[in-house]
Homo-oligomer: A and B are copies of this chain.
Amino acid sequence: MSRKFNFSAGPAALPDEVLQQARDEMLDWHGEGLSIMEMSHRSDAFVSVATQAEQDLRELMGIPDNYRVLFLQGGATSQFAMVPLNLLGGRDSADYINTGIWSKKAIQEAGRYATARIAASTESAGFTRVPSQDELDLDPSAAYVHYTPNETIGGVEFGYVPETGEVPLVADMSSTILSRPCDVSRFGLIYAGAQKNIGPAGLTVVIVRDDLLGRAAASAPTMFDYQVHAEADSMNNTPPTFGWYLAGLVFQWLKRQGGVEAMEAINRRKADKLYGYIDGSDFYANPIDAGSRSWMNVPFTLADSALDKLFLEQADAAGLLNLKGHRSVGGMRASLYNAVPEAAVDALIDFMREFEKSNG
């Protein structure tokens, strides 16, 4: 067995220690004689795992007591509908900030239920930056303001939390949650698909301020009502138990690393190294404004795109996996989530330097 460096944008790398523990416990969880996957979600053993995971996430993110943490299914894509179906509360308009492909998907789905008003868009700039606070044209009567703190495909990221006054702020944090400290009290609702910084695909974490519960539209499926899940401690029906368990292992791993403060330092260093190398090279380029660059997803291009295929083949052979850019944008993309070690970034830069020497 030989583990390689995995730069996948998601489902993405998980910490070796977490996978080792899951492997070792796979057939017999804590001497109980069965797998965690084979347990009733209502068993004492699983409930203890689930409760601990929530407590650890609350501790890691400093989630205030007036927020509920939900462990759901359906991905961020389900949240694109669940947010308007729960937060419109009789209003007919919500504000959206458009910074790329994931923002647009959220806007498109919300538009099926209400006016998804564009409070700001950087589309005319090719999504190479995020808007500043001054550029946000916010409607004070909006039901909520939605934004995407980090665009996984475009590689742009907000360096600040938008100020929205009394209007609840909603964030799709799928690709940036837990990468650094975050003041949850600034948000009405945070959601994140697990498959980047939390755990395996099929789990979605929602953190919602309790005054926003109980407002679901009459047409919303019961499973799309946050209140139902909050009242049932995310066990209205059988939750994705293995994903929840694995997320709990990741949270414990994060605590052992020193929490999100420690991750911030490491993630900043990883990103600075890679952007620094790219900027110092004439062979590689990243198109994003310096102040809007994502720490988690670093897209880059080669001076000659005819070399893309060779780059990917040789990277793969060197044990640097999944560097191909998203099919909608091409080029390369290195995703540097929490579980991607600094050694992976060092190895990538070494490889890029050698590749430039041979082909530049």
Contact = CB atoms under 8 A, between A and B. Distances in A.
Interface of A: 1-4, 6, 8-14, 16, 19-20, 22-23, 26-28, 32-35, 37-43, 73-78, 80-82, 85, 109, 112, 193, 195, 200-203, 218-219, 221-224, 236-243, 246, 319, 321-322, 327
Q: Which of A27, A32, A238 lies at the interface centre, i.e. has the most chain B CB atoms within 10 A of its CB?
A: A238
B35 A19 contact: yes
15 contacts: A1-B28, A6-B33, A10-B40, A11-B37, A23-B23, A73-B240, A76-B237, A81-B223, A82-B221, A109-B221, A109-B222, A195-B241, A201-B240, A201-B242, A202-B242
Contact of A19 (B4, B27, B82, B236): B27
B243 A202 contact: yes
B33 A321 contact: yes
Contacts of A319: 33
A218 B111 CA distance: 12
Interface of A is mostly: loop
Nearest to A76: B237
B74 A40 contact: no
B76 A74 contact: no
Contacts of A82: 221
A14 B35 contact: yes
A221 B85 contact: yes
Contact of A40 (B35, B222, B241, B322): B322
Q: Which of A4, A38, A78 lies at the interface centre, i.e. has the most chain B CB atoms within 10 A of its CB?
A: A38
Nearest to A23: B26
Copy number in the complex reads 2
Given A3-B27, A3-B28, A22-B26, 8 more contacts: A2-B33, A11-B238, A37-B201, A77-B223, A77-B236, A200-B242, A201-B241, A221-B224
Q: Which of A85, A219, A236 lies at the interface centre, i.e. has the most chain B CB atoms within 10 A of its CB?
A: A219
B8 A39 contact: yes
A28 B22 CA distance: 13
Contact of A78 (B76, B200, B223, B322): B223
A85 B73 CA distance: 19
Q: Which of A1, A78, A202 lies at the interface centre, i.e. has the most chain B CB atoms within 10 A of its CB?
A: A202
Contact of A11 (B22, B38, B80): B38
A16 B40 CA distance: 18
Contact of A34 (B6, B28, B37, B75): B6
A34 to B, nearest CB: 5
Contacts of A76: 237
Nearest to A5: B33
Contacts of A243: 202, 240, 242
Q: Which 10 A-B pairs have the closest CB atoms?
A: A202-B240, A4-B33, A81-B221, A77-B237, A23-B26, A73-B73, A1-B28, A202-B202, A37-B200, A75-B237
Q: Which of A37, A80, A327 lies at the interface centre, i.e. has the most chain B CB atoms within 10 A of its CB?
A: A37
Contact of A241 (B9, B42, B200): B200
A240 to B, nearest CB: 3
B41 A6 contact: no
B27 A20 contact: yes
Contacts of A20: 27
Contacts of A6: 33-34, 38
A131 B233 CA distance: 36
Contact of A322 (B26, B43, B237): B43
